[in-house]
Homo-oligomer: A and B are copies of this chain.
Amino acid sequence: MSLAISEAWKYQILTYPNPAVGCVVLDKNGKILSVAAHKKAGSLHAEPSAILMALCELSPDFLRNFLNAYNLKFNTDFSDIDCVELLEPNFTYDFILKNHQNLLKDAKAYVTLEPCSHHGKTPPCATLLSALKFKEVVIACSDENKIASGGAQILKNADISVKMGVCKTEANTLLEPFLSWQGGNFSFLKVAMSTNGVATGGLISNELSRAHMHLLRSVCDLLVVGGNTVRIDRPTLDTRLMGNQKSPNVLIYSKSQKFDKTIPLFGVKNRSVKISNELSNLDARLIMFEGAQSFLELAKARKLADVKWLLIYQSSEFKEGKNIELSLKTDPLFSLKFGGNTLWWARIR
């Protein structure tokens, strides 16, 4: 379950408006066959992703047949299934149903969230696990969402042994953003700094970190940035490292409305930019604050909207310069390496 939870954390927020979910599939002897996560709304859920990968691991024939059929149908040229988030989910789901050859009979799955029971953009995961005759499904959190819940019952009806509540606390933390934006909105503060706390003086993060950040921007409804940062850094705040997906709307937090409109962020297409010195009642469900010293001070004082989580990109480099200087305790939630950089999520204490 720890593996499933870690895998899901890698795509935290990126699954918006869906929850981050991870799944591990083991064969009947307990060998781990696959570790997968839901990566993006509209793409395969964690369970069919893990099932697909497990079938490909068990049977080179299954993999070859799947890729042949897929490439033929969609005129693509996949040579592997590394990018499950790019696969058309319904075709993939159907292919699994028709071609699994009972390879996963008596297998075991660990899922961080109760498998869904409803036909959304993809068919129900609980039905798939049942059809493939899994023996046991271990679930961390039950799904309280009225539309998608009931998965555990579907499994039980198919004589699958269901175990609930394994690593529940950790999985609940993983789900926090989802539960927040379901009931209203979720906000977090992103900070990039060197290993010795310097957040100024040009690029801090490496390309992988910045690409991840651009991906985050592409799913956020609103980006909030400080007026001084805009004046000094003259940022674009777009998603160019991720193929210019949709760039989020921007709110510049500033008392003065005066900005040089040649600053690139104003020129990004399909984006609204507001300037305001008001941070309450932001009309957006998923909000990323980008900042450092002053936003951290506001967050510490609980005056940065309802930001409780930090996302820190930290390089492994000591950088000349003054550090972010404040006292603030945090509880780390998850960390991930991007080359020499570390991304970590933390809760402000």
Contact = CB atoms under 8 A, between A and B. Distances in A.
A194 interface: yes
Contacts of A340: 330-332
A324 B196 contact: yes
A193 interface: yes
A343 to B, nearest CB: 12
Interface string A328-340: 1111100101001
Quick one: copies of this chain in the complex? 2
Contacts of A26: 31
A184 interface: no
A193 B323 CA distance: 12
Given A323-B323, A335-B342, A342-B335, A195 B330 contact: yes
Interface string A306-349: 00000010101111111111111111100101001010101000
A327 B318 contact: yes
Contacts of A29: 27, 29-31
Nearest to A197: B196
A304 to B, nearest CB: 15
Given A32-B32, A193-B196, A317 B327 contact: yes
Contact of A328 (B312, B318, B328): B318
A198 interface: yes
A342 B331 CA distance: 12
A296 interface: yes
18 contacts: A26-B31, A29-B31, A193-B196, A195-B197, A195-B314, A196-B325, A197-B318, A316-B329, A316-B332, A317-B327, A317-B330, A318-B324, A318-B327, A318-B328, A319-B327, A331-B340, A332-B342, A335-B337
Interface of A: 26-27, 29-32, 193-198, 296, 312, 314, 316-332, 335, 337, 340, 342, 344, 346
Given A296-B318, A316-B330, A318-B327, 5 more contacts: A29-B29, A195-B330, A316-B331, A318-B326, A321-B325
